[in-house]
Each structure stands twice: as structure tokens, then as C-alpha cells.
Chain A
Amino acid sequence: MLKLEKRPQPSKAYAYTTPFLAVLATMFFGGLLFMALGKNPIEAILTIFWEPLFGEFAFYYRPQLLVKGGPLILIAIGLSLGFKAGIWNIGAEGQYIVGAICGAGAGLAFYPMEAWFIFPIMILAGAFGGWVWAMIPALLKVKFQTNEILVSLMLVYVAEQLLASMSLGLLKNPEGHGFPGSRNLKDYPSAFNEEIITGSGMHWGVLAAFIAVIFAYVLLNRHMLGYSIRLTGEAPRAAKFSSVNPARLILFCLGTSGALAGLAGMFEVSGPAGQISIDFNVGYGFTAIIVAFLGRLHPVGILFAGLLMALTYIGGEIAQSNLGLPGAAIQLFQGMLLFFLLAVDLLTNYRIKLVRKEAA
């Protein structure tokens, strides 16, 4: 008989190998799913994981990995700080939206002036917008002990209404024939988040994501604040007795994750998306939660997890188009990834023991 036994210490080895196990399990069971749909499973898996990286048109898809992965990484890094300390910001999607609105709004306020300082102002405005939106659940939690999960999640829907209102009102393109949506920032050079190296997919937001990875790593490993974050998450009682100030920690974690989500929104709206529109947000804020956990809340892990997630999106589209796989099957495939990650996570904290049935 198999029995689960709690490990005295979480297994370090498993903590590092479970993500790979999860990916392998997803490939295996995903393959079965594709087979049930009448497709060649090996071909389908190769299309998803191989084609974007090394296929015929990889020159186009590789940069797209950065475009799709950049915002995921940037948001997930912010979220991971809070998650480590047991502070659950579920509303990054809302902070992403508000950051985009503030960033685009700041840029469009200068239209049609061209100046070097417009883009930096937009960056600040985007970060500020996300920060403010995250400060609402933070302050409510600190002052009234409200649940930040609920408040931050609810604020996503408020942000979506705000986005619709902006697309239809204040930020609507005056030359847009009455259709909703702002001017396209691609046609406004001073506000356009251009690729740093043309054709690389590397826009300023991707650079910001890489910088965030480095900063988060340094913060968590070399800095007192990072130590407090880890301590609060791993040993809340010990944290209480040491000099950790929980209120400050909540404000810092929610504020930082909000600011980073806001930045991601700002870089997205001024670059790949190009404009504020009613359907601007496509779920980066929620997918980033998966990315944060897939990356084990570790900055470098998140970097790879973000790119892996982007790979499944891009490969999934290719599989839909080339093999005629239904879109829902691809979503199921992505869902499996998180499911198996959580499932094999068990091995980190528990070990499976073979026990003989005792004589009754």
C-alpha cells in the first residue's frame, strides 16, 4: 500500500525538479488528449514546443516569445514578492489595465507634440496608475483588515468598466469615426514603445522585465526587506517576534506588484497593442499567477516559466492553424500544466512510502 508521509523539510531536489515533471506529464497527457481528438500526438506536441523555437519560421516566432512573455514575467515578479509573504494580490489584471490607461493617457495628453520626455513620463504614469490601484486593497487591509484577495479581484471588474469608459469617452480617437478606442500610439513616435533592436521583439517592457528579475533576485537574497518577506511567508510567528512590520510589508508587496503590473500594461498599450480599446486586456494579470507558481516564486524560475507559457500560447496557435486542433484543447493543455504542477508539488512536501499491511 502506498502512504503519504510529510517530510520534515521540504525536499530541495523535488522543488527544482517538479516543474520539469509537470511539463513532462502535461506533454504525455496532452498527447493522449490530442490523440483522442484524432491527431498525431507527437506531431502536435512538436508543433507546440518545437515549431516556434526551431521550425521554419522561428525567425518570426522567437521574438514573439519575448513580446508575449515580457508582460507575464514583469507581472509575475511583482506577484511573487507578495505570494512569498502570504499577501495575495489576485487583481494584477486590474492594475495592468489602470497602468495602461494612465500611461496612454499621459502620452496622449501631449499629442501631437514630439519630445524625448514624453515616453519617460508615460512610464512613470503607468507605474503610478498600477500602484494606486493596488494601494486600495493594501490600505483597506492595513486599516480595516479586509481580505486583499477579494478586494483586488473585485477591482479588476471596476478597472474593466473604467477601460470601457475611457475607450468610449475621454480617450476616444477624435478621428475614429465614432468607433471606440484611442489613437494608435504606433502612429505617435514620441509615445511609441519601439523595439530596442528592430526585429528582436525586445521592446522596453521586455527590458524592464529582465531588470525586474535581477532586482527581485538581489532583493530576496541580499536585502533585509527580502529577508522579512521570506520570513513572514515561511515562519509567520518568528516574523512577529523579529522586527518585521506587517503593515509596511503589505504596503510594499501590494504596491510593488501593482506598479509592475501597471508598467506591464503601459508597455503593452504603447507597443504591441498600440491603443486603449474596450478589449485591451487579455488576461495577462491572471496568467501571471500561474507563471509565478510555475516559476516556484523564484525570479529566475519565473523568467523561464514566463517564456514557457508564451511558448504554449504561440505553439498552440500554430497547432490550431496547422493541425486544426480546437482552441479549447489548447486551453485545456495549458490548464493541465498548472494542474500537474500543483499535483507533483505534493512530492516536495510529502514522500510516498510503501507500507506493508499490518496483520489485523
Chain B
Amino acid sequence: MKFTKLLATAAVALGMATTAMAQDKTKVGFVYVGPVGDGGWTYEHDQARKAVVEEFGDKVETVYVESVPEGADAERVMSQMALQGADLIFTTSFGYMDPTINVAKKFPDVKFEHATGYKRADNVSTYSARFYEGRAIQGTIAGHMTDSNIVGYIGSFPIPEVIRGINSAFIHARKVNPDVEFKIVWAYTWFDPAKEADAAKVLIEQGADVIMQHTDSTAPLAAAEAAGDIIGFGQASDMAEFKDGPRVSSIIDDWAPYYIDRVKAVMDGTWESKDTWDGIGPGMVGIGEITDRVPADVKAEALALKEKIASGEYHPFTGPINKQDGSVWLEEGDVADDGTLLGMDFYVEGIEGKIPE
């Protein structure tokens, strides 16, 4: 226990040092799973970091480390930031969950914010976005736009978040087009342009003319562009450079309001551990501009759906919805509870194939 004590004393000493300095600067650390130039997930977190700098100017100092592997390396990077006097640390990948909890135990005075996880502590908050709301809108567009009635979907890992997205997109595609089928390829990566491009090519060869992706690079859009007459969507970031090509809309993660809010809470001394799961309404999920490639009536329908979701009038998982095996999941008019959504490990009725195990 000597080590923990040592760390704790260091933390206390630093705590005093930082409170002494607190008048001038709040130090905020960011741990990234990919490079800031990935054009997707990490890029958006870094945009939010920049927004924090812009908002608070001299009162804040931000530091970040890119491409940090999950596990022991993440623990070391977080400890290092805490030792160097960070007051608040954002850990921006699901795999940082246990490392965040471990490091938070050693530095009780440092606040932690872990993205997309479910473990909290007195100094650890969690936050995530309801991306499935955006998927509902993409599904609607995809259902209308496909001619081959085959929508290709590039999954990263078969975890609840991704399965939720597939289900939401499928339900809404089927709503507007009863003949639509989903072909799903698992890339087993969040960011690997080569693998993502291969997955897109496979799907296009199998007849898909709409590609949806839950991976972070622009490679699937580039593959769609190369193949011609295929449409796709920006993921995590707007991916606006493909606007003249295949990209017809996008899901944008907008972490800036949340990050600014949390940094402010630390400055004001009002920070408390909590769980945040926000969607289109509060602005955490943004829908990128729908291009003219989409017919006006489809665009209007998609935007109307967005409004209904934002206002809370409509929930993308509203019954009747059956599970893949035909059993009833939600009765007519029932709305899915967050617990089931968070642990979603089943496809809805109509999706073919099995979730890999």
C-alpha cells in the first residue's frame, strides 16, 4: 500500500498546488483512442477540446495524448496527467472504463469523465450520445434512396451501441420501404481505413447501393465514390469533403457544449458525478446537411422526423417491435427503456444474420 500512499500524497501535494494556482488556470486532460486527424470520432473530441480553449481562453490549459491503447497504457497516461496537475480528465473510449476507475481511485481530487461506459464513482462521471436517434433519420433516407433494396452496413464491434444503431436504422428503413434488406459486415475495428474500404467494397459487390458505417474513417465514403452511383453517410463527423459525392447526410457528435459545461462546473466547484445520455434535442447528436441528391420530399420527411425526435414527441424504439426470433419486444405504443437499450444484444425482426459471438 506504500505506493498508493505515495501517489495519494503526491496527489494531495498537487491538489494544494493546483488550488493555489486555481485562480489562474484549470488544467484539463484528454485521452484519445485514435489520432486527432482521424476525421471522425477522435477528431470531434478534439474539436470540442478546442471549443473549451476558445470558451475559457487563459483560464484553462488543455493537454492531450493521441492513439492511447486501452489497458495498462491508458492507465499510465491518465496517471501522468493527474500527476502533472490535471483537474479534469476526459477519457474518450469505452475501453478506458476500468483504467479510468482504477486511476480515479488513486486521485480522489481529480475529476474524470468517461465516454460511453457504465462504471461511475464519486469522481467519475459517464457521458454518451443517443446516436440511434440519428440512425433513425439515416434509415429513413436509406429506405427511400435504395434502388437495389440492399443497404450495406459496416459495423465496428457487435456491442450494444452498434447493434442499437443497426436496429434503429433498419426499423426506419423498413417503415418507408418494406422490401429493404440489410447486409452487415463486421470490421472489428473503429479506425482502419484499409479494412473499412474492403468492407464497403464487399457490400457494394453484393448489390448494396447505400452504405452506412459505424466506423470512424472516411474510407467507406471514398470506396462508395470510386464505385459510382452509391450513397453513404458521414459518421461521427460531418465528412463534408464528400458532399459533392456520395455523402448525403451525416451524424455529427457534438461534444463541445457538454465539455464546456463540465469544465465550467469544475471551475465553479459545482462538479458532481452523473450519467449523461443526450441526443438530438440537447444538441449532442447533430444531423449534417442533407444534400440535394436526396429528393425534396424525402428530405422534408427526414427533417420532420428529426424535429419529432428532438422535441421528444417520438422515440425511435416505439412498439410494436418484435425481436429477430419473432417474440414480442415492445407492445403497440410502448417505448424502450434505457436499460434495455444500453445492453441491447439482439436484432429486431426482419434483420438477417446473427450477431457474432
B319 within 8 A of A: no
Q: How far is the CA of A322 from the CA of B84 in the complex (A)?
A: 8
B64:A177 contact, CB within 8 angstroms: no
Q: How far is the CA of A59 from the CA of B4 in the complex (A)?
A: 12
A177:B118 contact, CB within 8 angstroms: yes
Q: Which residues of B (36-91) have their CB < 8 Å from a CB of A?
A: 36, 63-73, 75-77, 79-81, 83-84
Number of interface residues of A (CB under 8 A): 45
Identify which of B36, B70, B73 contacts A277 (C-beta below 8 A).
Answer: B70
Q: Which residue of B lies closest to A179 (CB)?
A: B159
Known: A272-B72, A274-B98. A327 touches B35 (CB 8 A): yes
Q: Given the complex, which residues of B lie within 8 Å of A282, measured CB to CB?
A: 69, 71, 73
Q: How far is the CA of A198 from the CA of B1 in the complex (A)?
A: 7
Q: Which residues of A (308-356) have their CB < 8 Å from a CB of B?
A: 313-314, 317-318, 320-322, 324, 326-328
Q: Given the complex, which residues of A lie within 8 Å of B66, measured CB to CB?
A: 320, 326-328
Number of interface residues of B (CB under 8 A): 44
Q: Which residues of A (196-244) have their CB < 8 Å from a CB of B?
A: 198-199
Q: How far is the CA of A318 from the CA of B68 in the complex (A)?
A: 12
Q: Which residue of A lies closest to B34 (CB)?
A: A327
**Chain A positions 269 through 287: 1 when the CB is less than 8 Å from some CB of chain B, otherwise 0:** 0001111011110110000
Q: How many whole Å from A257's CB to the nearest CB in chain B?
A: 23
**Most chain A beta-carbon contacts within 10 A, residue among B64, B79, B102, B188:** B188
Known: A279-B95, A321-B29, A327-B67. A165 touches B118 (CB 8 A): no
Q: How many whole Å from A72's CB to the nearest CB in chain B?
A: 13
Q: How far is the CA of A160 from the CA of B158 in the complex (A)?
A: 15
A130 within 8 A of B: no
Q: Which residue of B lies closest to A200 (CB)?
A: B3
Q: How far is the CA of A199 from the CA of B5 in the complex (A)?
A: 10
Q: How many whole Å from B104's CB to the nearest CB in chain A?
A: 14
Q: How far is the CA of A279 from the CA of B98 in the complex (A)?
A: 14
Q: How far is the CA of A313 from the CA of B80 in the complex (A)?
A: 13
Q: Given the complex, which residues of A lie within 8 Å of B345, measured CB to CB?
A: 178
Identify which of B63, B75, B342, B344 contacts A321 (C-beta below 8 A).
Answer: B63
Interface residues in chain B, defined as those with a beta carbon under 8 Å from any beta carbon in chain A = 1-3, 6-7, 10, 29, 35-36, 63-73, 75-77, 79-81, 83-84, 94-95, 98, 102, 118, 157-160, 188, 342-345, 356-357
Could you jot down 30 A-B contacts, CB within 8 Å? A57-B83, A59-B6, A60-B7, A60-B80, A63-B3, A68-B72, A68-B73, A164-B157, A168-B356, A177-B343, A178-B345, A179-B159, A180-B159, A186-B98, A199-B2, A272-B75, A274-B71, A274-B98, A277-B95, A278-B157, A279-B71, A282-B69, A283-B69, A313-B73, A317-B80, A318-B80, A320-B64, A320-B66, A321-B65, A321-B80
